[in-house]
Amino acid sequence: MLGSYFYHERIRKSVAMFGSLFNNIYVLRHNAAGSTIGTMKIPISYAARDQALVRIRDQANLDTNTGLALKLPRMSFEMLAFTYSPERQLQKMGKIQKADPSTSSVVSRNKLYNYVPYTIAFQLNLYVKSQDDGLQILEQILPYFTPQYSITIKPFSDYADIKEDVPVTLQGVAYSDTYEGGVGDRRVINYQLDFEMQANFYGPLGTGKIIRDVETNQYLMQAGSGDSDVWVSKFNILPNPLGASADSDYGFTTTLTNTVDSA
């Protein structure tokens, strides 16, 4: 079973899709009169929370340390865990069948067995130095998750007509303020948002033959000597035209062979 190579990039697409949800968030700065004096688009990167905080704290004192620091506000996200979701598991032998886009074969089709459902845990972290920045970012995220937000994706690049709705659920929000030390030390406020994404994983792409010729024999039970049956007719069904594919509009040619007439 194991050993045949396949790669649908399902995890990679999930990570990219999750990050893209939050790549268009802004913070506005206002003066004392309430007028907007600046707009900042919040950068987002894939990084663990602890790693991001360490890089921020490397320049803890803004007076004595003039080295390049990570600019706040910013966001980071990471993938945490995979959990099997048995409640979404379909019948394991069910399959999707599609014509092979690289060939015009009318006698075979590509097939994929039903997916295996998993839940992927993600964590999004917001790093800000003022509460107003954090609240602006947070309020641009929370209204979209009630607590679920669905994204439509195309899991297979070769089959653009196959689409999936992927629910992303907000599980909770945590808050921490890492302000320590003197007035000149750097303050980092952290909002931690936990999400779960439903993802489906498919096995290797296989090939199966199409049933193009159906033949049915009819017998009279125990009509022969002893308990033997007598063959009386045969039905043969073929597509019309013979070169029709499974996705085209076609009819059938039915041929009846009667043993009485042929005799």
Averaged pLDDT of the chain: 82
255, 220, 210: which is closest to 236 by C-alpha?
A: 255
- Name the superfamily (CATH) of residues 10-207: Myoviridae tail sheath stabiliser (3.30.2000.40)
Stretch 49-62: mean pLDDT, rounded? 60
Domain limits, the chain: 10-207, 212-262
Contacts of 173 (CB under 8 A, 6+ apart): 138, 142, 191, 192, 193, 194
Tell whether the model's pLDDT for residue 54 goes beyond 90: no
Half-sphere exposure of 256 (CA within 13 A, CB side): 6
pTM score, two decimals? 0.74
Alpha-carbon separation of residue 233 from 2, 94, 236 (angstroms): 47, 35, 10
**DSSP state at residue 85:** -
The answer, yes or no, to whether residue 181 has pLDDT greater than 90, is: no
Q: Given pLDDT bands bounded at 50, 70 and 90, which one contains residue 68? A: very low
The pLDDT of residue 62: 45
Residue 66: pLDDT band with limits 50, 70, 90 = very low
Q: Report pLDDT digits (tens) over 144-168.
A: 999 999 999 888 888 888 889 999 9
pLDDT, position 30:
81
Kindly list the strands in the beta sheet with 116-128, ordered across the sheet, starting from the edge strand earlier in the chain.
44-46, 74-84, 116-128, 189-201, 164-177, 148-153
| More confidently predicted of 260 and 109 | 109
180-202 average pLDDT score:
81
The confidence score (pLDDT) of residue 238 equals 85
d(CA 96, CA 162): 10
